Amino acid sequence: MDAVQLAAAASDTSTPVHGLRSVASLRALVESLELRQVEEALRLGESWSTIAAALGVTRQAVHKKYAKRLSHVDPIERGQ
């Protein structure tokens, strides 16, 4: 099932258990996509503050969520 189908199933309240399963699947998909985007942003040299602003959270929140998971990411050389 693709993201559009998951979203449709998640918004359909006629079968709540199916809808909840779809919500859980969407949550997992979003988490995976967010991780990939944060990883690439860091690799390209973006700051935690810039990433946090894009996600609408604090720098501390995004750093706490991802710093240990992405300790292997080396930013590209940008004069830093």
Per-residue model confidence as pLDDT tens digits over 2-55: 999 999 999 999 999 999 999 999 999 999 999 999 999 999 999 999 999 999
Taking the mean position of all CA atoms in its chain, how far away is CA 33?
A: 5
Confidence of residue 71 (pLDDT cuts 50, 70, 90): confident
Say if 72 falls within a structural domain: no
73 in any annotated domain: no
Domain containing 32 equals: 3-66
Query: Is 78 inside any structural domain?
Result: no
In a domain, 37, yes or no: yes
Please count the structural domains in the chain.
1
Q: Is the residue at 28 inside a domain?
A: yes
**Residue linked to tokens 């830093």:** 80
Q: Which amino acid, residue 54?
A: A
pTM: 0.81
